Structure 1
Amino acid sequence: MTARVKDYFLGLPENVQGVSEWKNDEAKIYTPNLVFTYRVYNKRVDGDGIPLSTFFHCD
């Protein structure tokens, strides 16, 4: 059986592809197109996400 990230954390977006290192009770959540900031104390992501190209400063 394979566990999914959403089984452990509430309020995640769909299609989570990865999670960054946890620091100060928050982490970056990566989906195929967007990056979200997940805050543990709120048990949800902030905002609507940032496009990957903006997050990685790609032109």
Structure 2
Amino acid sequence: MSVARSGQVTFLRPAVLGDELVARATERGRFGRNGIYDVTVTRTDGVVIAEFRGQSRQAQS
């Protein structure tokens, strides 16, 4: 089990009602019990709306 440790969202452009948004996530790396993840949110025409970077922490077993 993992929990969110921190996260930051940078909004680059506004979305408007009716926009279809796509989020693509990538695990950038895992180091021991820590992980880093990037998510890019785009409109279907490829315009980037937002970027998210999150960090996770895995529970001790």
Identify the structure with bigger relative contact order (alpha carbons < 8 Å, sequence gap 6+). 2
Where is the strand percentage greater, Structure 1 or Structure 2?
Answer: 2
**Same fold by TM (over 0.5)?**
no
Return the index of the structure with the highest Cα Rg. Answer: 2
* TM-score bucket of the superposed structures, by smaller chain: 0.3 to 0.5
TM-score in terms of structure 2 length: 0.38
TM-score of the superposed pair, with normalisation by structure 1 = 0.39
